Amino acid sequence: MHGSGAGPREPPSGPFGQPMATAQHSPEAHYLLPSDPKGWERRGVPDFVYEQKDLAPAGVQWPGPTPGPLGPPSPSRFDSALCSAWRQRMELGLFRYRLGNLQTRTLPGVVGLVAQLNVERGVQRRCPQNIQSVRQAFDPGQFNFNKIRPGEVLFCLRRQPEGAQQEDVLVMINVSPLEWGHVLLVPEPTQGLPQRLRPGALRAGLEAVLLSSHPGFRVGFNSLGGLASVNHLHLHGYYLAHRLPVEGAPSEPLDPGGRLHLLQDLPAPGFLFYLSELGSDLEALVSRVCRATDYLTDHEIAHNLFVTRGAPPGKTSPSSELTGVRVILWARKSSFGIKEGEAFNVALCELAGHLPVKTSEHFSNLTEAAALTLIQGCLLPPAQAEEVRAALVALAQEGP
């Protein structure tokens, strides 16, 4: 475990071991930042400019051979920019609750599920929107990221040369954070894009993982029906100082070219795409993943996606061998709205093995078997899963 139960008795620390001041809900917070709701998106938002040389596909490792909390690595320029800006917003009181050192435990068993008690998120997060379809159109009348407070935006990701990434991607705080450094990656918010994965958004998410020197910085996407609570295109990014099962789980190739693999291990089988090199390989992977998510969306199949540093496809590998980036895609039953009374809701984190638990009672009593039952209950029935598998294998063999 790291941290205490009901609340921090010492100042919480960030992902690199630095102390973090707890939030003070200062009445001055709203006056320290621009307040024009229609002009926030570019005015006063700094750019984080990076080049391909800043992307590190290899060389990031967990510190030891056994699972457990992460010792502080050296932050990259991206990590420093994100963590310092995030900490400032916490001190200004722009979050819905004070995030302390969350009580964390690895559930006994063979999988290595990481359970984390986060009562405040379960109680205080924004209510999900009324969503009825994976393909639902963007509704400007609903809450969207053009309506946030100006200070919630940390910076704009800007790739040089600009031809490599045309879209502006804003990095903003998630006001109901799962963990330290929890941010949203929002491409071109003024365009009003619905929550459907696009190549520019996925590329930004992959490059954010590659910009971080922290092996526990992950990025993910929830589709509509996959527990996305806001129908405005965004990805999640956050730090978790623990290994997860999906980093080194074994897989089998599904097509002769090795473009698509099936992640066989628990907590849930998923489709695995792998990036070992940059350049054209990244663009090819983005294309393959988006063909798959387009198919799922067009066929009204909810899905979740998780991006993490990990081992190459194949047999079980030690989770310390983070030689590339794994992109895992799960097709699942549609679920609209938060399910009350359950220990956790199943979205991108839970499918990867990170379980943000809502209550102390559930946290104390949760077993691996109960968690796996809840997770696997959200997967597609076998016949539909096989149909999806055949379709994605065919799509993987198209194009690069």
Confidence of residue 122 (pLDDT cuts 50, 70, 90): low
Q: Are the C-beta atoms of residues 237 and 183 closer than 8 Å to each other?
A: yes
Residue 190: predicted pLDDT: 94
Amino acid type, 228: A
pLDDT more than 70, % of the chain: 82
Instruction: Compute the average pLDDT of residues 319-343.
Output: 84
**Which of 23-32, 45-54, 113-122, 356-365 shows the lowest per-residue confidence on average (mean pLDDT)?**
23-32
DSSP 207-243: HHHHH---TTEEEEEE-TTBT--SSS--EEEEE-SS-
| Helical packing angle, 199-211 and 280-298, nearest 10° | 130
Domain boundaries, the chain: 42-58+71-396
Residue 30: predicted pLDDT: 32
Instruction: Compute the average pLDDT of residues 122-132.
Output: 72
Q: How far is 228 from 241, CA to CA, in rounded Å?
A: 24
Q: What is the DSSP letter of 159?
A: E
Q: How far is 389 from 396, CA to CA, in rounded Å?
A: 10
Given a cut of 50, is residue 261 above it in pLDDT? yes
Residue 147: predicted pLDDT: 94
SS3 letters across 65-118: CCCCCCCCCCCCHHHHHHHHHHHHHHHHCCCCCCCCCCCEEECCCCCCCEEEEC
Confidence of residue 98 (pLDDT cuts 50, 70, 90): confident
Amino acid type, 213: S
Distance of CA 188 to the CA centre of its chain: 19
User: What are the φ and ψ backbone dihedral angles of 137, each rounded to 5 degrees?
Assistant: -75, 155
Residue 48: predicted pLDDT: 96
Give me the count of residues in the chain: 400
Active site residues: 234
Class of domain 42-58+71-396 (CATH, top level): alpha beta
Confidence of residue 121 (pLDDT cuts 50, 70, 90): confident
Given a cut of 50, is residue 24 above it in pLDDT? no
Q: How far is 334 from 357, CA to CA, in rounded Å?
A: 21
pTM for this model (two decimals): 0.89
Residue 185: predicted pLDDT: 98
Residue 126: predicted pLDDT: 63
Given a cut of 60, is residue 155 above it in pLDDT? yes
Given a cut of 50, is residue 213 above it in pLDDT? yes
The pair of structure tokens assigned to 188 is 């071109």
Residue 21: predicted pLDDT: 44
Q: How far is 139 from 130, CA to CA, in rounded Å?
A: 11
Confidence of residue 45 (pLDDT cuts 50, 70, 90): very high
Instruction: Compute the average pLDDT of residues 322-338.
Output: 90
pLDDT more than 90, % of the chain: 68
What CA dihedral angle connects 43, 44, 46 and 47, to 10 degrees? 10
Q: H or E stretch including 154? A: strand 153-159
Residue 14: predicted pLDDT: 80
190: Cα within 13 Å, side-chain hemisphere = 8
Instruction: Compute the average pLDDT of residues 147-164.
Output: 87
Residue 345: predicted pLDDT: 92
Highest mean pLDDT among 127-141, 155-169, 285-299: 285-299
Q: Are the C-beta atoms of residues 8 and 22 closer than 8 Å to each other?
A: yes
Q: Between these two residues, 23 and 284, which has the higher pLDDT value?
A: 284
Q: Is 44 helix (H, G, I), strand (E, B) or coil?
A: coil
Given a cut of 90, is residue 20 above it in pLDDT? no
The rounded mean pLDDT for the chain is 86
Q: Between these two residues, 346 and 38, which has the higher pLDDT value?
A: 346
Q: What is the DSSP letter of 164?
A: G
Highest mean pLDDT among 18-27, 73-82, 118-127, 301-310: 301-310
Confidence of residue 265 (pLDDT cuts 50, 70, 90): confident
Give the position of tokens 């320290």: 32
